Amino acid sequence: MTRPIYHFFRQGLRLAPLWLLALLFLSLLAFVGLAEDVYEREGFFFDAPILAFFHAQQSDFWNGLALAFTGSASAPVAGGLALLVLLMAFRRRLDWPLFALGFGGAMLLNLGSKLFFARTRPQLFPQLTPEHDYSFPSGHTMASLALVLALYALLAPGHPRLARWVLGLGLPWALLVGLSRLYLQVHYPSDVLAGWALSFLWVGGVALWYRWAKRAR
């Protein structure tokens, strides 16, 4: 039973670029560090000042922009985009299971994490769009980054140029989605950081495993 696990780590580490391994390790450290303090109900010194900064910037223009970016990563929109990608990947005989596991797994992981940590939403300032479910980690943040990374992993082997475009346009979008959650006062900065870390850790790990599994066939 331990032999497949051993071979996965040995071959996976050999095949993975050093930068990917470094980022996966940093993501793991970041999420574990944040999750531990949230589990123990400890606060973060940077949460309140950052939320206060975004509250001070509020205006009709920024309100509309933040709502637009948040809406672009809502469950119906992100889920619809993911379904469209899956259909196209299936028709073009791409590795659709990789995308499904990367994006779908990230969403299930987010749901499970929210139920486990049960962190309430911030109440420092009024929310610009009411949210009543749990806060940690940010679902919109995870959905946007997981969508970009899973699509990149899907396209990179056969369509590297298109994959680079996905990354170049998608990462700024995912960043702005995360910032919009802070502006709207519906997440702590630590929720957003954890969402980015966990999303990268999951999708990157899935892509690494999938690459190893294909080589091992």
- The pLDDT tens digits for 135-158 are 999 999 999 999 999 999 999 988
User: Buried (b) or exposed (e) across 139-168, using 16+ Cβ within 10 A?
Assistant: bbbbbbbbbbbbbbbbbbeeeeeebeebbe
Question: Is 159 tagged catalytic?
Answer: no
Q: What is the pTM of this model?
A: 0.89
| The pLDDT value given to residue 158 | 87
- Structural domain including 152 reads 64-216
Highest mean pLDDT among 20-34, 149-163, 171-185: 171-185
d(CA 50, CA 189): 7
d(CA 210, CA 213): 5
87 lies in a domain? Answer: yes
Catalytic residue from among 7, 55, 132, 140? 140
185 lies in a domain? Answer: yes
d(CA 214, CA 198): 24
103 lies in a domain? Answer: yes
159 lies in a domain? Answer: yes
Q: Dihedral sign, CA of 40, 46, 48, 51?
A: negative
78 lies in a domain? Answer: yes
Nearby residues of 50 by Cβ (< 8 Å), 6 or more positions away: 182, 189
Domains in the chain, number: 1
| The pLDDT value given to residue 173 | 98
205 lies in a domain? Answer: yes
Catalytic residue from among 7, 55, 132, 187? 187
Alpha helices in the chain (DSSP H): 2-15, 18-39, 47-56, 60-72, 75-91, 96-99, 105-117, 139-155, 160-183, 189-216
Average pLDDT rounded to a whole number, residues 146-171: 94
Lowest mean pLDDT segment, chosen from 64-68, 151-155, 210-214: 210-214
Question: Is 132 tagged catalytic?
Answer: no
Higher-pLDDT residue of 204 and 21 is 204
44 lies in a domain? Answer: no
97 lies in a domain? Answer: yes
- pLDDT over 90 percentage in the chain: 78
| The pLDDT value given to residue 5 | 42
For residue 68, give the amino acid letter: A
